[in-house]
Amino acid sequence: MSEGVSAQELYSAIEQTARLVDAPFSREKVWPILSAFEGGFSEDGGVVLSLQADEEVAEVEYSIQVSPGIEDPYAHALAHGLFKETDHPVRALLEQVVKLAPTSEHYIDCGIVGGFKKIYANFPHAPQKVAELAELPAMPRAVAGNLEFFARYGLEDVALVGADCKNRTVNLYFQLPPGIAGELEPQTVEDMLRETGMSEPSEEMLAYAGKAFRVYVTLSWDHAEILRISFSPQPRRSVDLAELPARLIPRIAEFMRATPHKYTGALINATAAKWSHEKEFLDLASYYQVSPLHLKAIEAQE
């Protein structure tokens, strides 16, 4: 990775995006995080801005790669007062994950309102088996408790593990195998939602979820069941907004067309159809920066 991205540059992009969608913005919420992690930013690291498709934008999140410049993002965040020390298993989780499957690629996930939230360990070259991750002492027992569900639907290879330090939850991002990725039947998606007790899906969201190349779940140490499940198609350039399973208000449509970005060519977007036990919703994302490896994968789909 090369060097060269300043905290001020990222701050400006985040602020511009927040103004674009008329979201609440405060320097005091954003600058301390960016200045604390500035040593980990580079020209080659991924930076993604995201929000929910809704009538009002209450939050804009930003995910930024912070390594290999910062070796231990959790300790770094702790040292800079971004959250308090805890003896909760979330404290040890990523350390155990990286010991099992060494990686030098970490991301932080934050919100312009909610502040510092998550840390991710990414495995771009060698996804990890969920059955092995389930055996880690700090992993929620809900992972082991849902292994049969994961296996039944081809959810075995984990490309990304996220530890939510604020809400004390875990995200597992499953890479769907060839032959399944992008080809999920609506009935399969509906079966997965029904089995996990999610809210009733609309036909439009079911059809869109079938395009997923990744499926990710949210679990916690306090519940045996899966809390949320999401279906994400491959990121791509110039998403046709008419194909989305939701009508976007003008400023969110503008987010999908005009968010600032540093790479050449059209804006790269990502989407995810999501369900909780209470509701379904659509997540939207725009890339400010994209790594060469990720860009190569995106261009291979074009």
Per-residue pLDDT reduced to its tens digit, 148-169:
999 999 999 999 999 999 999 9
* Residues 251 and 20: beta-carbon distance below 8 Å: yes
The whole model's pTM is what?
Answer: 0.95
Phi, psi for residue 18 in degrees, rounded to 5:
-60, -40
Sequence-separated (6 or more) residues with CB below 8 Å from residue 231: 184, 189, 208, 209, 210, 211, 212, 214, 215, 272, 273, 274
265, amino acid identity: G
Q: Give the confidence band of 297 by pLDDT, cuts at 50, 70, 90.
A: confident
Q: Which helix (H) or strand (E) holds 260?
A: none
Write down the pLDDT at residue 104.
85
pLDDT tens digits along 241-257 = 999 999 999 999 999 99
Q: Give the confidence band of 108 by pLDDT, cuts at 50, 70, 90.
A: very high
Average pLDDT over residues 142-150: 98
Residue 106 has, within 13 A of its CA and on its CB side, a CA count of 25
Cα–Cα distance measured from residue 252 to residue 215, given in angstroms and rounded to the nearest whole number: 24
Tell me what the pLDDT averaged over the chain comes to. Answer: 95
Q: Which residues pair with 275 in a beta bridge?
A: 229, 280
